[in-house]
């Protein structure tokens, strides 16, 4: 029994990380229809920035996190202005390929600035785990989970109850109609990159104490985060949250009961099955807006 709970905790630990990255994918997809392959690198930059502020400059953690978010906003906006905006007229596919190029640039840049070694970041609360039902849980996981839940709530409110949020969604659903309705498309796109950049950087800062900060950590995160977003239905934020947790728990359980060697294979097998049978995602109510 204790082991089952421990496997679940192991799954949740990775699950929240996937969930946060998945939500980052959704934000940009919802506004532009683009899958941003540099999403993992946004997270990496956040982790690296937290390392710099907290471990090198010795700024207290809460302030360091705020600075990380500001850094993420800058990265998101610069990314939007230099990669997305110039390529957008050439179509979504071109932008997607552009994001792949940008991810390589970000990774290489981070390697030059922070080096190739993994960097350790101390956790917000305490290094000692708490014990629930006899199983150990890293306190940082609780922090990540709480902040992810808050972020998902905020985003849900923002997109469904504020005029700006709805305007962003309108841009992706029907750009022409949005333009005719007087929605400033370019600003909305910038805003969505700002949101995604800041959230991803925050995610990076939060998970760095668990996973270490490393210049090439983004690739794995993007892959699994993308899986989370797909499982939950691309564009559906609460879906990505649940999808991420589901993916993590699945990995944890298969490492525990099946074989640790098949853990990743199982995750991707589920992804393929979902894409085959429920491409709109497990949690989606089958919205029909996008074809």
Partner 1 sequence: MQKVKIKVAKLLIFSLGLFLLTYPFTSSQAEEAYRIGAIFAVTGPAAWLGDPEKKAVELMVQRINRQGGLLGKRVKVVIYDTYGDPQAAVLKARELITRDRVMAILGPSRTPTSAAVMKALQLDREENRFQVPLVSCAAGRILTKPVKPWVFTTPQTNALAAERIVSYLSEKGIRRVGIIYVSNEFGEDGYESLKGSAAKHRITIVGVETYGGKDRDMTAQLTKLATKGPQAIINWSVGPTSVIVTRNFKELGLDKKGILLVMSHGQGNIKYVQLCGKAAEGVILPAGKILVAEDLPNADPQKRVLLSFKEAYESAYHEPVSHFAAHAYDALMLVVNAIKRGKVRPGDGKGLKEALEQYCRGFVGADGVFNYTPQDHNGLSVQDLVMLKVKKGRFILIH
- The residues binding partner 1 (CB under 8 A) are 3, 6-7, 9-11, 13-14, 17, 116-120, 122, 127, 129, 136, 138, 210-212, 214, 216, 219-220, 252-253, 255-256, 259-261, 263-264
Query: With respect to partner 1, which residue has the nearer C-beta, 77 or 253?
Result: 253
**CA-to-CA distance for 67 and 59, rounded, in angstroms?**
10
Q: Least distance in Å: CB of 171 to partner 1? A: 35
Query: With respect to partner 1, which residue has the nearer C-beta, 3 or 162?
Result: 3
- The distance of Cα 230 from the centroid of its chain, to the nearest Å, equals 12
Query: With respect to partner 1, which residue has the nearer C-beta, 169 or 219?
Result: 219
Query: With respect to partner 1, which residue has the nearer C-beta, 138 or 236?
Result: 138
Query: With respect to partner 1, which residue has the nearer C-beta, 143 or 155?
Result: 143
- Considering Cα of 22, then 24, then 27, then 30, what sign does the dihedral take? negative
Q: Least distance in Å: CB of 256 to partner 1? A: 5
With vertex at residue 12, the alpha carbon angle to CA 7 and CA 15, rounded to the nearest 5 degrees, is 125
Q: Least distance in Å: CB of 6 to partner 1? A: 4
Q: Least distance in Å: CB of 284 to partner 1? A: 28
Q: Percent helix, strand and coil across the chain, each rounded to 5?
A: 75, 5, 20
Cα–Cα distances in Å, from 140 out to 84, 123, 272? 34, 6, 31
**CA-to-CA distance for 202 and 190, rounded, in angstroms?**
18
Q: Least distance in Å: CB of 2 to partner 1? A: 8
């Amino acid at each position: 029994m204790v082991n089952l709970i421990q496997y679940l905790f192991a799954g949740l630990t990775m699950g929240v990380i996937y969930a946060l990255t998945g939500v980052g994918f959704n934000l940009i997809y919802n506004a532009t229809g683009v899958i941003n392959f540099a999403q993992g690198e946004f997270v990496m930059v956040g982790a690296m920035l937290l390392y710099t502020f907290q471990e090198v400059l010795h700024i207290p953690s809460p302030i360091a996190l705020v600075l990380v978010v500001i850094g993420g906003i800058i990265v998101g906006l610069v990314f939007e202005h230099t990669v997305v905006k110039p390529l957008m007229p050439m179509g979504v596919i071109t932008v997607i390929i552009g994001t792949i190029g940008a991810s390589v640039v970000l990774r290489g840049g981070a390697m030059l600035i922070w080096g190739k070694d993994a960097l350790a970041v101390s956790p917000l609360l305490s290094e000692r785990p708490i014990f629930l039902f006899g199983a150990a849980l890293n306190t940082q996981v609780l922090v990540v989970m709480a902040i992810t839940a808050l972020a998902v709530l905020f985003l849900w409110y923002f997109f469904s109850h504020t005029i700006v949020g709805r305007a962003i969604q309108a841009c992706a659903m029907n750009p022409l109609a949005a333009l005719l309705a007087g929605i400033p498309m370019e600003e909305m796109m910038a805003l969505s990159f700002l949101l995604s950049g800041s959230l991803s950087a925050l995610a990076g800062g939060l998970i760095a104490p668990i996973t270490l900060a490393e210049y090439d950590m983004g690739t794995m995160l993007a892959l699994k985060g993308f899986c989370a977003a797909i499982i939950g239905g691309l564009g559906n934020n609460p879906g990505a949250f649940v999808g991420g947790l589901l993916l993590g728990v699945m990995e944890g359980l298969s490492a525990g009961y099946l074989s640790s060697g098949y853990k990743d294979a199982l995750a991707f097998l589920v992804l393929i099955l979902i894409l085959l049978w429920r491409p709109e995602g497990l949690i989606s109510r089958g919205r029909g807006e996008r074809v």
